[in-house]
Amino acid sequence: MIFKKGFSYVFNENACKDCGGKCCTGESGNIFINEDEIIHLQTHFGLEKKEFRKKYLRKVDYKMSLKEVEFEDGFACIFFNQKERNCGIYPLRPYQCRTFPFWEYFKTHKEELQKECIGICYLS
Ligand code: SF4
Ligand code: SF4
């Protein structure tokens, strides 16, 4: 169980294996990634910067996001392992993914988070 100061819920990471990756699939969205994270991933895949960006990234204003692919009735992150239904780059996933579900946004969007993540348990 993971607790984080300032949040009114805890997160049970064991729930992920029963979930099927809801936070990596569904409606289209941005999965932002920073320069250091890009370098780690392109090194991991043994690709040149240009090739990696073309294959896996899209530009959103001044930031970079992971691409999505069509999946079931919606979309999945390009690194979502569709067979195993989990993250295919788990140790190298971006900060945005590593900090889920403890996002400032969810402090005020309780229903949305409850709908999305079965690992959440509200305190009291
Ligand atoms: S939605 Fe929650 S339970 Fe499901 S994979 Fe993501 S973090 Fe784990
Ligand atoms: S990088 Fe991994 S954890 Fe993040 S959205 Fe893609 S599949 Fe999910």
* Backbone phi and psi for residue 120, each to the nearest 5 degrees, phi listed first: -90, 135
Token duo for residue 18 = 């029963």
CA–centroid distance, 122 to ligand 1, in Å, is 15
Closest residue by Cα to atom 2, ligand 1, is 117
CA–centroid distance, 17 to ligand 1, in Å, is 8
Q: Ligand 2 in contact with 78 (CB < 6 A)? A: no
**pLDDT value at position 124?**
76
**Of all helices (H) and strands (E), which one includes residue 81?**
strand 80-81
Exposure string for 94-123, b = 16+ CB within 10 A, e = fewer: bebbeebbbeeebeeeeeebeebbebbeee
**pLDDT value at position 53?**
97
CA distance 85 to 22: 9
Q: Ligand 2 in contact with 57 (CB < 6 A)? A: no
Residue with tokens 């370098």: 39
The structure's pTM equals 0.95
Kindly give the number of the ligand 2 atom that is closest to the alpha carbon of 86.
Answer: 7
**pLDDT value at position 70?**
98
Give pLDDT tens digits for 63-112.
999 999 999 999 999 999 999 999 999 999 999 999 999 999 999 999 99
